[in-house]
Structures are given as C-alpha cells and as structure tokens.
Chains A and B, each alone.
Chain A
Amino acid sequence: METQAARNAPLERKVRLAAFMRKHFWGLLFLLPAFIIFILFLWVPIVKGFVYSFYHIDFVKGNSFVGFDNYKVALHDEDAWTAVKNTVYYMFLCLVIGFWIPIVFAIAISELRRFQGIVRVAAYLPNIIPVVVLYGLWRWFYDPVGPINGVITGWFGSEPVAFMTDTNWSMISLVIMESWQQFGSAMLIYLAAVLSIPRDWYEAAEIDGAGVWNRIRHITLPSIKGLLGLLLILQLIGTSQGYQSQLAMLDGGPNNATLTYALLIVKYAFNQQNYGVAAALGVLMFIVLGLLAIVQYRLQGKEGDVR
C-alpha cells in the first residue's frame, strides 16, 4: 500500500504542478521578465562580487584563487580607513545640510494659495539639469572670482573662500551642490504626502487657535512620520554609496579629502585594474549595509510592538 502511494507521489506532484501552471500561467509569464532581469542584473553581480573577492581577476589570462588576500589588502590600506571616515562625514553632512530642505520646501509650497504649480516645477528644475552642466555651473559658482566669492569679498570684505581646494570646505561644497540639485525629487514625495493630509484637520486646528508652527508640529510632521523614516533610510543608503560628484569635481582630492568608500572601490577597479580588492571592498560594504538594514528592521519592529 505504502509502496503504491510512494509510486503515485511523483505523479500527483506533476498533476498539482500542471494545475498550478494552468491556473497561474499568464501571471507567471508576466513575472518572468522581472525575474530574469533581477537575476541577471542584481543577484548574479552580487554573487559574482562575493566570488571575485577571493580571486585575482584577469579577464584575459584567467582568474586565480587568492583566498583572503584581497581582504587583507583592503583592510591594510590606509586610504580605505580615510575613505570610511570621509563617507561617514559625507553622510552626516548630507543629513545636516540636505535632509531638511525638501521637507521645508514641501510644507512651504503646500501652504501657497497661488502659483503652487509654477513653484513646484521651479523647485524640481535643478533635478533635470545634466550633471555635466551642473558641475560646470557650480565650478563657476565656487570660482575664486565667481558669484559666491563676489558676495563674500564685495559685501563682507572677507578673503575669498577656496571652496574646492580648501580641505575644510571641499566636501561641504559638494554636499551643498548636490542638495541644490537633488532636493526636488524628495520634495515632490513629501508634497504628495502633505497634500494628502485631510484639510479639515488644519481647519479644526486653526479654529482652535493653532498657529503655523503648531499646525506643522502637531499635524504635518506626525502625519508624514513614516515617510520621513523611509526617506531617511534611503538617503543613508544612497549617500553611503556616493562618489559621482567627488570623482567628477575633485577626483577624491584635495589629498583624499573627498575620497569616499565607493570612489575608492571605483579607483581600485578602474584605475588600478584590481577588481579583486574592489570586490572585497564591495562585499565589506554589503555586509555593513546589510547589518544596518537588519538593525533598522528590528528597531522598526520593536516600535510596532510598543504601539
């Protein structure tokens, strides 16, 4: 009897699978492209990155297994620690300088009774400027005889600031430039959230004598709290991988002052052709970001429990 059941089991599985396929055929077919793209462009590179971190990579002559050598090189490289410090500093600056700007703009625009559409478009415009133009534009803004230094020297009578070449200013200058360019997209997301808050809440608060600040503090901010948390996490992840403006404007200089961790990976991979160490650095970053994601997930879970 048992033997008969065991003999029938594969057949039953086949029948169930066929029934499942018949029922969900179109759904599965629509999922297939996304599945393939994810596998090809997300998971294959991630897995290959792990594998490559244990190899000396030579695309022409062939790879050779080197154990943990790439990790040793990465961890013994002084530039790697400089890059970690710079990246943390960059993330911090992006929070301090850049995080609140889209929130303020979203709230301000939501309060406008007229010209809201025009202002919204104007605020988003920097986002569509090609980066080459952006870098040229800001290089001029920051020039020793450019408009910003014109104000500093002309109005305040101070010495011009070397925004690009003073190591104290270089990273801050890049963050200001990026904040100017990128705040528009986050602003639109916040604006959508702010505009979805029921107007009668504000009307009730106004009747109760709440001023603008109190309305923001007690209605707007609590209502978009979830979104604030989400965009904060996304910003932290995004800025931890930042390297584009550092590469284009200063190539990581002056004297490594804007060398971020991701830029170091790029330099290992493409300047030194040392893809193994670059992969090892990438894996280390993956692990750290993964741990942060888990911590954030747990914290969110605990917060949910308290509620």
Chain B
Amino acid sequence: MRKNLVTTVAAVLLCSSLAACGGNNNAPSNGNQKPAESNANASASTNTATDTPQQTEDITQKKVKISIYYPLPDQVENRKLEDDKIARFNKVYPNVEIVKSDWHYAPNEIGIKMAANEAPTFFNTYATEAKFLVEKGWAADITDLYNSYEFKDQINPVLQNQFIIDGKVYGVAQKGYVTTTVVNKKMLDEKGVAVPSYDWTWDDMINTAKGVADAKKGIAGIAPMGKGNEAGWNWTNFLFEAGGEIQNIADGKVTAAFNSEAGKKALDFYNKLRWDADVIPKDWALGWGDAVGAFGQGRTAMVIAGAEGVLEQALNQGGMKIEDVLTYPMPAAEKGGKHTGVLGGDYLVINPNATKDEQEMAFRYITFDYFTDDYLASLEKDIQARQTEGKFFIPPHINYFSPDSEYGKKAQAIFDKYDNVYKYSAESNALLDGKPEAQYNTQEYYGSMTNVLQEVFSKKGTDLQAQLDAAAKEMQSKYYDAIKP
C-alpha cells in the first residue's frame, strides 16, 4: 500500500514537473522548428478554425472571456470612465466576461508576457512598436475584423496607417500626439520672462529657459530627458526640426542617417543647453516620469513630451491651474522653419494567442464606444463629475476621429461647455508638424542616442560628430546591416 502511494506521488510530481518545464503551450514542441513552418502551421490551424461550423454560430450567444487593458490605480478618473464602458458593453453583450488587466505595455516586458501567455486579450502599445510586434508575431492580424467595421473609413488615417503593414491591419488607433513642449507660464510670469510666440525657434527656447533657470534653487529652464530610451526620443524632435532623418531606406538597404549635418546641429543645440546656457537640471539623468514630475513640481519651466500625459500630471496630480500650462509646438530650428515633432500614438493590439471568438469580442470592445453618442454622453457625465471634484479632463491631442468630422464637432461642443476641459490653442495646433518615427530598431536607436547625449551632458567639449559617427556605426553593424527591407 505504502509502496503504491510513493509510486503514485512520485508519478504525479514528475508529471507536474515536466508540465511546468514544458513552457508555452503555444510554442512549437520542436525547438528547432523553423519560423516558416510554424507560421504555416498557424495559418493552417486558423483556416481550419474558420471552416468549422463553430464560427458560423452567433458570437453573442457564446460564453466568451476577455481580459482588457485597464487604467492604472492612480488614474482614478479614467478607471471610472472604463468601468462605465464595461457596464454598457455588458448590457449589450451579457455573454462576455470581462477581466480587468492593469498590465500596461512595456518593451522590456512584452516578450515575457507573450512567452508565458499572460498578455491580456488586447493591450495598449505605441506607434514605434508596430513593426516590432508584427515581426515577433505578437500582434494579431485583424484585417478581416477591421474591414468589416462600419466606421473604418472615418478613422484618422494618419494615425491608423502606423499599424497597417503590407496591407494588413494589426492594431486600432486610439489617440495620437505630435510631440510638444509644455510650458509653465506661471514660472515665466514670476520671473518677468516674456511668453514666446507659438511660432518660436530654438533661440527663443534657449532665451526663455535662461530667463527662468535658477541653479541655486534647483530650478531649470528646460528638462530634456536624459535617462532611458526617452532621452533619445526627446532629442529626435530636434533632429527632425533640423531636417535630419534617423535612417534612409534605399536599394534594399537601411542606412543610419542621424549622423548627418542636421544631426550635428541638433546635438550642438543640446550642447548649448547644457554648457553655454546652463539651463537644464544639474541632475539631468531624468526619465519620462522624472522630467514630467519635475515639471509638475515647478522645478523646470519646460518639458518635451506628448502633451496629454504632462497635462494629466500637472493639472490632476500636481494641482497646477489650467491657465498656467501652455502647450507649444516644438520650436523651429530657425525662423520660418517647421515645428516638427515626433508623431506618436496609442494603439490597441489584439493578442494573437487569443481564440478567434476572443479576438472578435476584443475588437468589438475596443470599437464599442467609437463614434457613438452613448460615449459622448458618458464623457459629459465624467467631465461633470470631475468638475465637482475639482479635476480636469484632458482631451487627446489627436483623436481617432477627425476634429472636422460631424462626430468631432459634437465632441468639441461638449468640451467647449466646460471650463475644466483643457483647451489646446488653435494657433499652436495649426503649427504642429508630425513626423513618424523610424521603421526599424527604433528603441535600439533611442538607446544608442541616449549614450551619446549622456556623453555630451557629462563632458564639456565632447566631439559631437565623432559621437554621432560612433553611434551610427554601432547601429549599422549591429542592426541595420541585417535588415532586408
């Protein structure tokens, strides 16, 4: 009896150990299986699934469980808005069980999430990630769902095109932005510094920063990000304004292009900010959160980022007044130049590991509020609730719908009714010039440029061209040479 017990226990434990070591159920059992074979298998299984009678069944009659992208705990107002959406969705689709996932996309976590099959049914991501996610097989091809969506032609094409690759759709645009400079007007007023025109230049930016900076009190004129990949991302705006490119794609080759004359000019501007004007924080190793936090605390008068995130922190968490925060386009390199900023956006991507039913329900959930009056009613209710609580609503800088469309006008009419809705300046918006990011290895490029910027910020007299050339050489040999576009 005892012998049998031991044998049974051992067998169970052995089986569970092997199962635990087995890894991802979705991964091919043969570790050597080639991607092509794997893809073929995947598409074969997809076809089979499509052919089965199951698919012809009414999806509203089936029990489906989806996990959704849900705002973080500190985004209390956004959570309320999402809860309201869940309730309305469940009224229409009572057969769907919704699980809230507060995992938010991070480039250094997505691999693990997908490998462990723990990513939610749909998740947020940014414009840079489209090619990366598609190449890795971490974004479901939702072309059929998208093509049968009734409002697809009304979705802002500038945003949506970032997630259409080789004619296939891999994500749904939520909102977008052109990178801006957010200015603390109150700090300028207190120092008697003239508020610059929206059609400003690099020189205006330096002069404004000089007027406000007070190193002894730990106050900077501007806080360009200096830590993490966001440092490279911040600097890329200036590269674009100087007329530069990150990479060139021609004759079947990708070539690093940021070490151009324009690149040197942009780097020299950073050099001036640090060493000549001395207007950046002494502790310049600031990531997105640090720089935006410094802005909210009044430790820097300017910060470079998508406006919405900065405004949310400054107004709703930092307690700043709505009239004290101005959203500027990025400055032009010279008078008459373009106010180019990196075009970014938030997208929702459906997990390819989800079943077809889950994918369809996730798509329905994502687009549930798009172009509906119900959403506008819910939005208005939310704005009113925020008003009672002394909180602000910050509309996306660029929406998934065009502001000139009928729906856009309806939304704007609601925004105009309330003084706790942040209003972007029309003059500023007219100057915005969005430029999409690089197609290949964007995050690696940002990381490489971050090292260059840190060298410039930490050592006076750094050879700017040599630094750029070294970074370009590294990008070329490590990544670009292997790409066959």
A contact residues vs B (CB 8 Å cutoff)? 18, 21-22, 25, 29, 32, 36, 39-40, 44, 55, 58-65, 139, 142-145, 160, 162-167, 249-251, 253-256, 269-273, 275
Contact = CB atoms under 8 A, between A and B. Distances in A.
B8 to A, nearest CB: 12
A22 B6 CA distance: 10
Given A25-B2, A60-B138, A273 B31 contact: no
Contact of A144 (B32, B137, B283): B283
A62 B28 contact: yes
Contacts of B23: 59
Contacts of B282: 144, 160, 162, 165
A273 B281 contact: no
Nearest to B111: A273
Contacts of A61: 28, 35, 38-39, 136-137
Interface stretch (B46-54, B235-243, B450-458): B450-458
18 contacts: A21-B6, A40-B20, A40-B21, A44-B21, A58-B35, A58-B136, A60-B26, A62-B28, A62-B35, A62-B38, A144-B282, A145-B218, A164-B285, A165-B457, A253-B226, A253-B454, A254-B454, A271-B447
B109 interface: yes
B403 interface: no
A65 B32 contact: yes
* Most chain A C-beta atoms within 10 Å of own C-beta, residue among B31, B32, B284, B459: B31
Contacts of A270: 108-109, 111-112
- Interface magnitude class on chain B: 35 or more
B34 interface: yes
Interface string B227-261: 11000000000000000000000000000000000
B114 interface: yes
B32 A64 contact: yes
B217 interface: yes
Contacts of B388: none
B405 interface: no
- The interface residues of chain A, by DSSP majority, are classed as loop
A251 B228 contact: yes
Contacts of A142: 283
Contacts of B455: 254-255
A60 B109 CA distance: 15
Given A145-B217, A253-B285, A253-B451, 6 more contacts: A55-B31, A59-B24, A60-B27, A60-B115, A62-B38, A165-B284
Nearest to B10: A32
B26 to A, nearest CB: 7
Given A143-B218, A144-B218, A255-B458, A21 B20 contact: no
A5 B216 CA distance: 93
Contacts of B136: 58, 60-61, 273
B107 A271 contact: yes
B115 to A, nearest CB: 4
A251 B32 contact: no
B395 interface: no
A145 B32 CA distance: 57
Contacts of A145: 216-218
A271 B108 contact: yes
B320 to A, nearest CB: 21
Closest 7 CB pairs of A and B: A145-B218, A59-B115, A144-B282, A270-B108, A61-B35, A254-B454, A62-B33
A228 to B, nearest CB: 36
Nearest to B216: A145
A63 B32 contact: yes
Contacts of B33: 62
